[in-house]
Amino acid sequence: MTHLIDQVAQLVEVKFTGLEGSHDWFHIKRVWQTALCLQTIEGGNADEISLAALLHDYSDHKYNGGDFDAGSREVLNLLNQLNCPFELADRVAKIVQVVSYKGALVSDEATSIEGKIVRDADRLDAIGAIGIARAFSYGGCKERPLYDPSIAPLLHATKEEYAKSKSHTVNHFYEKLLLLKDRMETVTARSLAEERHQFMLQFLAQFEQEWSLNH
């Protein structure tokens, strides 16, 4: 199994190295390490968690033209090609299908403990100092303004509506990042999220203060 995980890690490292900073190999590596750290406390199958963490962004709808199912389909094909046992490949592909956030008013799909851990690890990387840096990197890559006070945040009710949204980056905090703390499903991630959440609130308060002095 270690051989399969090494092979997948190498493939993913090649595919993601040098990509835009919000979804590059360092993001995948942080999610992988965080997920394994959560596993030591929360339990679950460590191999399944490693594979799902490494492959969770393999074909992300944000980058593949909006196909929500391509990720799990491509992951299943890849794992089959690498001779991964079918049952494990199927479990990993099912986790990949449910990791991403699909809107403030869209509930998360039910998943296994392994799925909860990978989803929580991905969300921990979306908040706090790193989350702030990633949000502005992603917004920059999509040529979005930092902020536009005339455009209020929206709570999206469908994944299609959420995926289409092209708002400024400060809205992303209200539409997703500040909501993640309460969507953590493991006790460990929930407690790690607290400090990162407070840091984002502090950042937004400071941002607002500086903005209102200058505009």
Cβ closest to Ni ion, residue 17 vs residue 208? 17
Which amino acid, one-letter code, is at 72? S
Cβ closest to Ni ion, residue 57 vs residue 114? 57
Cβ closest to Ni ion, residue 24 vs residue 207? 24
**Considering the complex, what minimum distance in angstroms separates the CB of residue 119 from Ni ion?**
10
Per rule CB under 5 A, is residue 42 in the interface with Ni ion? Answer: no
Please report where in the chains the tokens 């051989």 appear, as a residue.
3
Applying CB under 5 A, the span of 42-50, 115-123, 161-169, 195-203 interacting with Ni ion comes to 115-123
What residue ranges in the chain does DSSP mark as E strands?
none
**Considering the complex, what minimum distance in angstroms separates the CB of residue 84 from Ni ion?**
21
Please report where in the chains the tokens 């001779």 appear, as a residue.
83
Binding to Ni ion in span 53-72, by CB under 5 A: 57
What sign does the dihedral 206-212-213-215 (CA atoms) show? positive
**Considering the complex, what minimum distance in angstroms separates the CB of residue 144 from Ni ion?**
19
**Considering the complex, what minimum distance in angstroms separates the CB of residue 212 from Ni ion?**
33
Per rule CB under 5 A, is residue 48 in the interface with Ni ion? Answer: no
Cβ closest to Ni ion, residue 123 vs residue 156? 123
**Considering the complex, what minimum distance in angstroms separates the CB of residue 38 from Ni ion?**
15
Nearest to 55 by CA among 28, 80, 81: 28
Cβ-proximal residues to 13 (8 Å cutoff; 6+ apart), any chain: 25, 28, 29
Binding to Ni ion in span 118-157, by CB under 5 A: 122
Q: Please give the size of the binding site for Ni ion, defined by CB under 5 A.
A: 2
**Considering the complex, what minimum distance in angstroms separates the CB of residue 150 from Ni ion?**
31
Cβ-proximal residues to 1 (8 Å cutoff; 6+ apart), any chain: 47
Cβ neighbours of 160 (radius 10 Å) = 13
Tokens of 160: 């299609």
Cβ-proximal residues to 67 (8 Å cutoff; 6+ apart), any chain: 59, 61
Cβ closest to Ni ion, residue 42 vs residue 122? 122
* Calpha distance 172→153 (Å, rounded): 8
Q: DSSP letter for 109, please.
A: P
Applying CB under 5 A, the span of 5-13, 50-58, 102-110, 198-206 interacting with Ni ion comes to 50-58
Residue ranges in contact with Ni ion by CB under 5 A = 57, 122
